Each structure stands twice: as C-alpha cells, then as structure tokens.
Structure 1
Amino acid sequence: MGEIMVDNFNLEEFFSGDIDSFNYSSNLPPILLDAAPCHPENLEINRYAVVIIYVLVTLLSLLGNSLVMLVILYNRSTCSVTDVYLLNLAIADLFFALTLPVWAASKVKGWTFGPAMCKIFSFLKEVTFYSSVLLLACISMDRYLAIVHATSTLIQKRHLVKFVCIAMWVLSVFVSLPVLILRNTVKANSLTLVCYEDIGNNTTKWRVVLRFLPQTFGFLLPLLVMVFCYGFTLRMLFKARMGRKHRAMWVIFVVVLVFLLCWLPYNLVLFADTLMRTKQIQETCERRNDIDRALNATEILGFLHSCLNPIIYAFIGQKFRYGLLKIMATHGLVSKEFLAKEGRPSFVGSSSGNTSTTL
C-alpha cells in the first residue's frame, strides 16, 4: 500500500468521525488516495467493554487503596519510612482511579464536561501517574540505601521522607504542566467533542514530542532506578543469605514487578506508534489499526495497575493483613480469638528499622 504524505488537512478529517481514534490516530489521512478507505476498526461492543473495565478498576482501587491508607494511618505512631511512601502511593493510585469514570464516559459520548474539566481531569490523571511511578522509584532507592549501604541514620527520620514525597509531587506537577496548558475540547466531527491537545496545525507533530515526558520521566528513568537499586539489593541479600530476614523486601519487589508487567507493554506499543508517526516504519491501514487496538488493550492493562498494589499487600503482606484484622477486631467485625489465632507477625529489624510496618 503506498504511503501518501499530506501536510495539511483539518482536524475533522483527521478524526474521520470516530471518537475513539483521537487518542492514537497518526497523521495519515483517513482515506488513502490510491487504496480503499482506511477507517479505524472500533466495535461498539468493545467500547462498552472498556467502560465496564474502567468502572471495575475504579471500584477496586477505591476499596483497596482506602484500606491501605486506613491501616497506615491507624498505625501512624509506629509507621516506617516505607509506610510514608506507601501512603502517598495509595493516595496517588486512588486519585488516578477517580479519573477513570470520566474517561470511560468520554469513550461513549465524547467529551461533554466542558474545556475546564478537560484540563483539570487530564492534569490530575498525569500528576497522579507520575507521582505513583516516582514514588516506586523512591521506595527502591530507600531499600537500596538501607540494605546495601546501611544508611539508617538518614532515612529513618520520617520528617525527611515527607520532604522527599513533597518533592516528587512537585516534580509530577511540573512535568504535567504541558497537558494542563495544551489540553482543550476539540471537535472530532460536527457532533462530537474530544479532550485533546490543541496546538493548531502542529498538533500531530507536537504530540509526538510531548511523549518524551511520560516515556522518560514516567517509565524509562524510574525503571532504570528500580532495576539498579533492586538488582544490587537482591544480590546482597542472596550473597548474605538474608532473604528470610528481609521478607517484607520481597513485597516491595513484587510491587515493582507488577508495575513493570502493567506498563511495559503499553510503552512498547507507544514506541512503535511513535516510530510510525515519525515515518521510521511504513504506515499502512492494517498496521495503523493493529497499533490502535494494541494501545487500547495495553492502556487498560496499565490502568489496572492502580488497583493491584492493595491486592499484593493482602496476599503477601502479613503485616498488612494483621493491621487490617486488628482494626476490624476493634470495631467488632472479627473476634479477638480469630485475631489471636492469626498471630502478630514478627519482624527482624533491618538497617532502617522495620522494612515496613504495613507489609
């Protein structure tokens, strides 16, 4: 199929009447001049399936992250450095999930909430995404310093870790500013509005440039930090045969592994889409539709991440389960005999105190 270079076409033609295509469609015109029409392949049933998944993820995230926050705050007098990070992580995941119903509704009827809400929800989604991954990188650095370099004096001070968390939130706000400035309601067709970057005729070009921020600060750099820190930390634990002593360390490791499994596929597909947009690989209708479908599927997998951390804590984190049962026993939801049977988990102190009072 021949590749046609068209420099100027209006946004209505670009969207070709389909409200789902605005997320990913490249600057290939909707109808190739030397071939059959190239229309995005989006089935109505798939659109509503995505809405259902978004709503379920939101409910699970609200429940799970609220419980994590409850357990940490209930035991705040004894919370560790890692707990402070996990509290902020739960807050970020919770607010990220709160934006999903809005995006779900926009997939069905387009954007009906106005320009101001377009900016606000886009900005909130970006800030909470960045803060979540940056906090995971901070946790890996904290464990690396505590175990490999035994810098307990510095990282045990909880007031210092609060400043680190604030710095991560401020950085997240800063890298999210382009979305706040550039997002607006744009006509996808004569009847439908979408929430999209609006940079005039250069929208497609700048949207590729703007991908540098989420793929660098939101994935690549934090991933490199995590791989470096956990690689050396696990190497030392195996070398010293301290795996059982640092059992809670494995919970954090699983949290990072789940992050990788959730977001790596999306970033790989996004990279392929960027190559196609920049003409590094040939763009065809078939390839364009394949990448669009892959982006939709892997984005859902990434969104699922916001509700998975509490599930990890519940199934692997002995301390979290005990903390939750303790709260339930206090309010008469479970018997104290059951709580005693569950038993208070024992922890051997690491170089920074308990690896986590929650995990």
Structure 2
Amino acid sequence: MDVTTASSPETTEFEYEPYDNESGAGNVCEYGQHGISFLPVIYSLFFVVGLLGNVLVLWVIIFGVKLRSMSDVCLLNLAIADLLLVCSLPFLAHQARDQWAFGDAMCKMVLGAYHIGFYCGIFFIILMSIDRYLAIIIWKLLHTQSSKKQSIRLVLIVVAVYFCCWMPYSLASFFRALELLKVLHSCRISNDIRLALQVTQAIAYSHSCLNPILYVFVGERFRKNLLRLMSRAPCRVCRVMKTLIPSDRG
C-alpha cells in the first residue's frame, strides 16, 4: 500500500524493475527502502502531536468559539480533515517498516482517509481565504495600522505554511510523472525520485500538526478562548499547560 501510487498493499525490502540505464541498454534497477530508518519515527511523532493538537482545536472551537463566523466553520472542518490524515499515519509508519499486513479493505480505507483529508484541507483553506478576502477591504487593510490586521494575518500564514509543506511533494510528484512518461529514464534518477517522494511526503504530513501550533501563537482570539477554557478546566494538567501558552500583549 502506497499513498503515492495507490497500488499493491505489499512492499518488500528491495524492489526490482526493468529499466534502461544511461547507455540505453536494458537493465534491472534495484530500489531500496530508503525511508525505513526514519519514516516510522517521523510518522509516529506526527501522529501523536497532530492528534493532540487537532483535538485541542476541536475543543476550543466547539466549546469556546461556538462557530460564530465562516472562518470558525472552516477551521473546524480543517481540523477534522487534518485528523483524517493523522489517523492514517500509524498505518503508514508500519508500512514503511514492514509489509502491509492489514488487508485490501483497510488499505482502501486508509487511502480514502488520506485523500479525503488532503482534498478537504485544500478546499477549506481556499474557502477560508475567499471569506476573509470578501469580509475585509484587503489592500487597504495591509497598509493601515489598525488592529484588524489580526483577522487576516492568521489566514495568510496558514495558507503560506500549507504551500511550503505541500509544494516540495507536488514537485517530486511532477518528476515522478515525468518518469512514468519515460521522459526521465535512468536507474539513478529513479532512485533519487523515490527518495525525494518519501522525504517530501514526510514534510507534507507535518502540516497536519502545524496548524494547531499556528492557532496558538498567531491567532489571538483562538488563544484567548483556549486560555479561558483551560482556566475553567478542573484538571491540573490544563492549568500547567496554560503557563506555557504566550499571553496577549497589552
């Protein structure tokens, strides 16, 4: 099972594929599992951070903000989309280390969660950007000293972070498409592309746990609601966490 190709659920330590070498003669290209040493650890870390962070976002939006605007609705759905991606990471961590052992049905479910979360994330980020653009006269806002700048700064940073996380993977996928079209045809390039796909995909998955961090350190209204809920929460852990969250200036 591979989210980049959605092909067979089984992988081996080394894959072999007929390939043309640089001289044009037929050859067999050996593909090693480059990511077996780092992908399971990275995916497991992203799963823990992303799960806790996005559940925290849901808690704040549902019980603190109470969906007062379109942006709040978009943030809620974006957190749900990130959770779908995050829930696929334990399976991807196992698959990066060993053969897929969960069957075809689970393979389709994991791939479905991955693609739904991916495309829903794009949709709600675009929708949130359009909503903020329509709600605020933007060019003038950026050239004023008004405190209303905070209402759009979070959206711009979320969009920029999304672009930075997913653009490398999209570029690597483009080169993979060129390889499938036989535009690029050498064993060395093919191995480089596969390694690039694994590394950039890990970078892309980091986006699922970065949004909650952005909301805390950039979104002032989100941070206020989070601090208010933590103050009311009976657990001592919440009160300890409150000391780690930056307070608003002024």
Gaps of 5+ in 1: 1-10, 149-232, 347-359
Match of 1:18 in 2: 12
**What is the deviation of 1:133?**
1.0
Match of 2:55 in 1: 66
Secondary structure of 2:147's partner? coil
What per-residue deviation string (whole Å, max 9, x for no partner) do you get for residues 231-260 of structure 1?
Answer: xx3x33234x25632213111111110000
Match of 2:3 in 1: none
Q: Which amino acid aligns with 2:119?
A: Y
Aligned length: 234
**What is the deviation of 1:34?**
3.2
Match of 1:353 in 2: none
State the percentage of identical aligned residues. 34
Secondary structure of 1:39's partner? strand
**What is the deviation of 1:41?**
3.4
Q: 1:302 aligns with which of 204, 215, 221?
A: 204
Secondary structure of 1:254's partner? helix
Match of 1:248 in 2: 151
What per-residue deviation string (whole Å, max 9, x for no partner) do you get for residues 185-208 of structure 1?
Answer: xxxxxxxxxxxxxxxxxxxxxxxx
The structure-2 alpha-carbon separation of the partners of 1:93 and 1:77, relative to structure 1 and needing over 3 Å to count, comes to closer
Q: Does 1:42 align with 2:36?
A: no
- Verify the 8 A CA contact 1:31 1:39 in the aligned structure 2: no
Q: Which amino acid aligns with 1:238?
A: L
Equivalent positions of 1:287-298 (< 5 A) are 287-298=189-200
Secondary structure of 1:40's partner? strand
Match of 1:100 in 2: 89
| Aligned CA-pair RMSD | 2.9
Determine the C-alpha separation between the residues in 1 that align with 2:206 and 2:13: 23
- Verify the 8 A CA contact 2:67 2:73 in the aligned structure 1: no
- Verify the 8 A CA contact 2:20 2:187 in the aligned structure 1: no
Q: Does 1:236 align with 2:140?
A: yes
Secondary structure of 1:111's partner? coil
**What is the deviation of 1:78?**
6.3
Gaps of 5+ in 2: 1-6
The structure-2 alpha-carbon separation of the partners of 1:109 and 1:34, relative to structure 1 and needing over 3 Å to count, comes to same
Q: Which amino acid aligns with 1:53?
A: I
Match of 2:161 in 1: 258
Q: Which amino acid aligns with 2:188?
A: E
Match of 1:276 in 2: 179
Q: Does 1:312 align with 2:188?
A: no
Match of 1:119 in 2: 108
TM-score with structure 1 setting the length: 0.59
**What is the deviation of 1:19?**
5.3
The structure-2 alpha-carbon separation of the partners of 1:327 and 1:114, relative to structure 1 and needing over 3 Å to count, comes to same
Q: 1:84 aligns with which of 70, 73, 76?
A: 73
The structure-2 alpha-carbon separation of the partners of 1:143 and 1:20, relative to structure 1 and needing over 3 Å to count, comes to farther
Determine the C-alpha separation between the residues in 2 that align with 1:89 and 1:320: 15
Q: Which has the larger radius of gyration?
A: 1
Secondary structure of 2:212's partner? helix
TM-score with structure 2 setting the length: 0.83
What per-residue deviation string (whole Å, max 9, x for no partner) do you get for residues 110-158 of structure 1?
Answer: 211111111111111111111111100000010111113xxxxxxxxxx
- Verify the 8 A CA contact 2:20 2:186 in the aligned structure 1: no
**What is the deviation of 1:30?**
5.5
What per-residue deviation string (whole Å, max 9, x for no partner) do you get for residues 64-119 of structure 1?
Answer: 11111111111244632211110111111012101110111122222111111111
Determine the C-alpha separation between the residues in 2 that align with 1:293 and 1:113: 25
